[in-house]
Amino acid sequence: PPYVVPPHLESLVASLGDPFERIADEVLGSGEAFDLLANFTDSYGNRPSGSPYLEASIDGLVELLASAGLDNVHTEPAMVNRWDRGTEEAFVSAPSGFNGGRRHRLSMLGLGGSVGTGGARLTAPILVVASFAELDTRGAAEAQGRIVVFDYAYTGYHDARVYRAAEAATRAAALGAVAVLIRTAGPFSLSSPHTGMQSYDADAVRRIPAAAVSVEDAALLARLQARGVAGVEVELYMEAEPHAERVASRNTVAEITGTEFPDQVVLLSGHLDSWDVGFGALDDGGGVFIGVTALMMLKRLGLRPRRTIRFVAWTDEEQSGGGQEAYWNTHLNETGKISLVLESDDGVFEPSALNLHGSAEAHAILRAVGSALPPPLPPAVNDVAQYMIGYDVGQAIRNGVPGATIEQAPVRTYTGPGAAQSGGDSALAGGAMGTAGHFGGDYFFYHHSMSDTMSSLDPGQMDRCTALWASYVYAVASLDSLLPR
């Protein structure tokens, strides 16, 4: 039978109306999270793992959290990956297809973890394929000595990520290719490729350079091949260098200590590191700063719940997960005292619901909490799979801890040129991940690109995300028991 919230919990939830109103009054219309993030990203820029820029930003965040009077502000050590991009560029030439012998500069970004071109300019003919199946059909006879270009049909980020993350470079190299260029993992492009982590199979015969190219340039290369233009070559130069040894970094922690059960925790989080392009405002400065602002605001209002609210800014989410690895190596034995883990790494656009992975009892309790939220905060609670909550809190969820993140409303669809390659409207329905996704707004328009700046974000939307975040963490930390597993 469905779980029924007991009367004593209903009465506790009803008592949350006043603190929820105070939170909304304090946050909505303030623009505080946006302003704090703008100051932070303007000051520190992007924050790649293993860089001095990330470490300086950690120092700055610690100073901000301590100045707000939060409890137990400290850092915890973690070992992280380091990868350097260096200078990179690519050109395509087609003597029989471009008038005047011109070359076209490709919009490209090397993929994290990729090797470079060995200090030389690599020039080779291209082979454009639409899928791994086509690559296998073409085989070594056509791939040998070529730069393989993957111009796949975008149907959602997780499907696209298969090309970017691991298989493309390894499978092409096994057939004799000398490099791979991969259509960028996003639904739309304004000549703006997206980087991201890629890796090689441990058994790979050779490691070849791997880079993303814009939607427009992948389509250009496909058209040249389809027309049978002779002599099409790409010249690729990449100074990319992965480093074998990990380097020291830190997770950042701050708390509001609980009044009755200080050893029991509600954990909210985002990751502070970013890629080395753009400013890391959307991914994931926004997730960090709605958490920072929620804690600072609860502190100002004197709203101290029964359990401890712990904020964690993870390091090294983008490259190797060294931050979450170190944290859970130390704290996994504490998961029996964690009521809920929350992670925001999906953008901070218009919130439409809370996404929850947990028991039927936990869902019923949080639906009751949601019903007490004041407008315009959304009351809905969705039941989602574990992987949709967040990478950094995954170990806790696998240990049975309920997990939550923010569902966001889609903002626009795209049906113009390139929609077929971008999956059209279906790729954005219900969020930019596709119909099963939860990334709202235009997340993958900006994600991992030079466009990841404050201009991708809206102060009012960030206010509403902050108020929703603060309301749920305060409510769960105020319950008379941990959320049921």
Q: How far apart are CA 231 and CA 187, in angstroms?
A: 30
Question: Of 317, 318, 343, 350, which one is the catalytic site residue?
Answer: 317
The helix (H) or strand (E) run that includes residue 267 is strand 261-271
For the beta carbon of residue 38, count every other beta carbon within 10 angstroms. 19
Q: Name the packing angle between helices 32-44 and 52-67 (round to 10°).
A: 140
**φ/ψ bin of 429: left (φ > 0), alpha (ψ from -120 to 50), beta (otherwise):** beta
Active site residue 260: no
Token representation of residue 277: 């392009």
275, 276, 278, 280 alpha-carbon torsion, rounded to 10°: 40
Nearest to 344 by CA among 385, 322, 314: 314
Q: How far apart are CA 304 and CA 255, in angstroms?
A: 11
Q: How far apart are CA 123 and CA 179, in angstroms?
A: 10
Beta partners for 310? 255, 267
Q: Phi and psi dihedrals of 88, rounded to 5?
A: -150, 150
What DSSP string describes 337-374? GEEEEEE--S--S-EEEEEEES-HHHHHHHHHHHHTPP
Token representation of residue 410: 């889609």
Query: What positions carry a catalytic annotation?
Result: 317
